[in-house]
Structure 1
Amino acid sequence: MSDQGYPNLNPGRVNEAVNGALNSAKATATQAADAITNSQAYQTVANGPVAETASKELNATKSEFSNLAAARQTPSSKAATGQNLTHYHSMFYSLLSWENPRATAISYIVVATSIIVARYVPIDRYVLKALFTVLGITTAAELVGHVVLGEGFATKVRPRQYYTIPRETLESVLGDVEQLINFFVIEFQRILFAENVFATLTAFFAAVLSYFLVKVTPYWGLALIGVTAIYFLPLIYVSNKELIDTQLNNASSVISEQATQVRDLAAQQANQAYEATSSATSQYVNKAQEMMGSAKKTAVDKGYVSKETANAAPGVPVEKVGNTSITTPSTTSTTAPSVPAADKINTASFPTAPKTEPILAEPSSQPVIQTPAVAPAPAL
């Protein structure tokens, strides 16, 4: 009886054939790779000067990246508030100071390329396309495997245990993220509160320049300019450190001398103003006291008050009025006119007040004739 009309109920033979074909292809590929490796041309290229130079550069690059990773240590210096800095302070200082030039150059190329790629390449669409492509291939392979081989391809390559992130690794990553965030937070506050005046001044000019560039430059271009400045301004400083430090010291000395001169001039002007104010105040006070003394002397001379009462009031004493003279640029001392003795008023000039109550008379029927009141004569 022929088996052409029945499905293959024993797929083991097919699996053996497939595995044999795969092993044969693998062996053929291995033999071809060994043949290429052992060939004279490959040995000439692999052991030539170009390969040696490339190997040296590769080893130097690996060493610099190792040094950069080893620089991630908490620095001994602290912030102005006494707080410890993060280990990213040491790493970024080593990176941006070009202590490891190959690692710094490669990191700049990676960051700049990422910005350009993010601008011109629709990464999100490619990611989604790759995702549905992989899922579609996996689904098709699984279904075809079940139909042809009796076992799905995805089932065959499935790992015995799914991969999980260890707790230690997750805590380490979260700790690094926390340190990185705190690095930016601390640096922003150090710049904001002028812990380093030159850094604050540089940030000020960068903010002003960005304010005008953002009107004509797209965000990706602004980000590329910022990254380039962050990487290459320290390189310019490191390459011309002595010259730049000399100019900065000279500028600092000039600013300090100018500030000292302005401070001394301000103190001199303040002293002169204080002296002028004190002199004018003293003159006006003396003039006021002299005027009060003259008024008191006039009152005593006219008999309005006694000498003791007049001296109790503020001002120059009565007996010193004639001896005190105040000279000012616009006024001269004057003497109060003397009052004749006949014009002095004493207690005898006033009538004696009655000591008994007046007796009211009976009202009469006669009309009362009212006479106009006469104002008393003013006292001389």
Structure 2
Amino acid sequence: MSDLTANDNPIPSVETTNGSSLEDAKNTVVNSKLPSSSTARLTSSIDASAAANAVKNHPITQSVTNGPVAENIKEQHAKTANEFSNLSASRTTPATPAATGQQLTHYHSFFSSLLSWNNPRASGIAYLSIVLFIFAARYLDILRYAMKLTWVTLAITVAAEAAGKALFSTGFTSQIRPRKYYTVRKETLDSFMGDVTELINFFVIESQRIVFAENLLASGAAFVGAFLSYYLIKVVPFWGLTLISTSVIFLTPLIYKANQELIDHHIKNASDVINSQTEQVKQLASHHAARATETTKQYAGEYAAKAQEMIGSRSRSVSPTITKAEPAPIKKENIPAYKSEDFPAAPKEEFKSVPATSSEQEPLIAT
């Protein structure tokens, strides 16, 4: 007598088939427990998983993912990530302060490491990114495409929500809505604002260091760039001038780093020639200055002697000379002759004073 009932489904024995008994048992259990629609979905997912595993385990796929090309790509990706990490870690405050004694920003170290090509992959990617952005700003209407992306996104979300509520009483957009809207943490915002402040101060400090010639070579290079830009802006558009400036800023250190020995050798030779010529000019200038001083002293002495001689001769011509005056001739005129009898006789007695009377005397003090 059998123990099976009408509602029981028999499960085949594991030993009855060759290799497919477990698969048949699984299918039997699944078919007996799940409805037809769920069974179809499960079967399709199992088939898709099996197909994915088959593609993944295929020899061609294994040769591509584990071959030398893939290994090289992984190695380069690891090196690039490492260089970006080093570039990010270089944002430290420099130990050497400015000429005024104040500390520089950590962006001084960052841009110094970026432009010196100490991390070539990171510097190259940064340069290419800036160049692509310049070309995109020139040939692509970025603002128009941004507005188009905005209205297309809103149209899709609104239409999906409206269609879902009309057909299924539940909007499709609300189904993918996050449980909690994304927000920016205060710590992240403070860190971002701190970086922005440091970046602004970097440009402010560097502009002042260039203007006040703290580094003569940097100020000279800035002068040459500004001078050439003044004339190039008349014939070159702004985006072209920006591209030229970016290429000069990034590629000049790279060229110097690749040919450092040759460039240093020529710079040393040029410096020696300039120093020797400068020394010769100094010696020649000092020689001519000494000769000019001697000539000036000689002419000054001659003119002083001539001036003294002229002053002496003028004083002798102006001052009167002492000469012996000859007596003037006496003119003889007819003067009548006088005799002593013609004059009265001289008195022989002294003069006698007449005494004054008292009535004639006036009082000394008037009463």
TM over 0.5: yes
- 2:228 is matched with which residue? 209
Q: Which amino acid aligns with 1:195?
A: E
- 1:225 is matched with which residue? 244
Q: What is the deviation of 1:66?
A: 0.8
- 1:302 is matched with which residue? 321
1:134 paired to 2:157? no
Q: Which amino acid aligns with 1:100?
A: N
Whole-Å Cα distance in 2 between the matches of residues 136 and 276 of structure 1?
Answer: 95
Indicate the larger mover: 40-49 or 212-221.
212-221
Indicate the larger mover: 282-291 or 169-178.
282-291
Whole-Å Cα distance in 2 between the matches of residues 21 and 140 of structure 1?
Answer: 31
Indicate the larger mover: 142-151 or 121-130.
142-151
Whole-Å Cα distance in 1 between the matches of residues 40 and 112 of structure 2?
Answer: 56
1:285 paired to 2:323? no
SS of 1:342's equivalent in the other structure is coil
- 1:65 is matched with which residue? 84
- 1:342 is matched with which residue? 325
1:253 paired to 2:272? yes
Q: What is the deviation of 1:133?
A: 0.9
- 2:184 is matched with which residue? 165
Match of 1:195 among 214, 233, 249: 214
Match of 1:145 among 161, 164, 169: 164
Q: 1:192 to 1:250 in 2, by over 3 A?
A: farther
Whole-Å Cα distance in 2 between the matches of residues 177 and 139 of structure 1?
Answer: 37
Aligned length: 290
Q: What is the deviation of 1:21?
A: 10
Q: What is the deviation of 1:189?
A: 3.0
Q: Which amino acid aligns with 2:175?
A: K
Alignment of 1:1-380 (within 5 A): 32-297=51-316, 302=321, 340-342=323-325
Whole-Å Cα distance in 2 between the matches of residues 217 and 243 of structure 1?
Answer: 33
Q: What is the deviation of 1:98?
A: 1.6
Q: What is the deviation of 1:60?
A: 0.8
Q: What is the deviation of 1:50?
A: 0.9
Q: What is the deviation of 1:192?
A: 3.1
Whole-Å Cα distance in 2 between the matches of residues 294 and 19 of structure 1?
Answer: 140
Whole-Å Cα distance in 2 between the matches of residues 20 and 153 of structure 1?
Answer: 25
Whole-Å Cα distance in 1 between the matches of residues 151 and 288 of structure 2?
Answer: 81
Whole-Å Cα distance in 1 between the matches of residues 250 and 302 of structure 2?
Answer: 69
Q: Which amino acid aligns with 2:87?
A: L
Q: What is the deviation of 1:128?
A: 0.5
1:310-368, Cα deviation, whole Å (9 max, x unpaired): xxxxxxxxxxxxxxxxxxxxxxxxxxxxxx4439xxxxxxxxxxxxxxxxxxxxxxxxx
Whole-Å Cα distance in 2 between the matches of residues 72 and 187 of structure 1?
Answer: 16
Structure 1 unaligned segments of length 5 or more: list them: 1-17, 304-339, 344-380
RMSD of aligned residue pairs (Cα, Å): 3.0
- 2:20 is matched with which residue? none
Q: What is the deviation of 1:27?
A: 7.3
Whole-Å Cα distance in 1 between the matches of residues 41 and 206 of structure 2?
Answer: 58
Whole-Å Cα distance in 2 between the matches of residues 341 and 20 of structure 1?
Answer: 164
Indicate the larger mover: 19-28 or 67-76.
19-28
Whole-Å Cα distance in 2 between the matches of residues 22 and 223 of structure 1?
Answer: 58
SS of 1:273's equivalent in the other structure is helix
Q: What is the deviation of 1:173?
A: 1.2
Report % sequence identity. 49
Indicate the larger mover: 224-233 or 203-212.
203-212
Q: 1:19 to 1:109 in 2, by over 3 A?
A: farther
SS of 2:325's equivalent in the other structure is helix
Whole-Å Cα distance in 2 between the matches of residues 33 and 208 of structure 1?
Answer: 63
TM-score by length of structure 1 reads: 0.67
Whole-Å Cα distance in 2 between the matches of residues 266 and 112 of structure 1?
Answer: 52
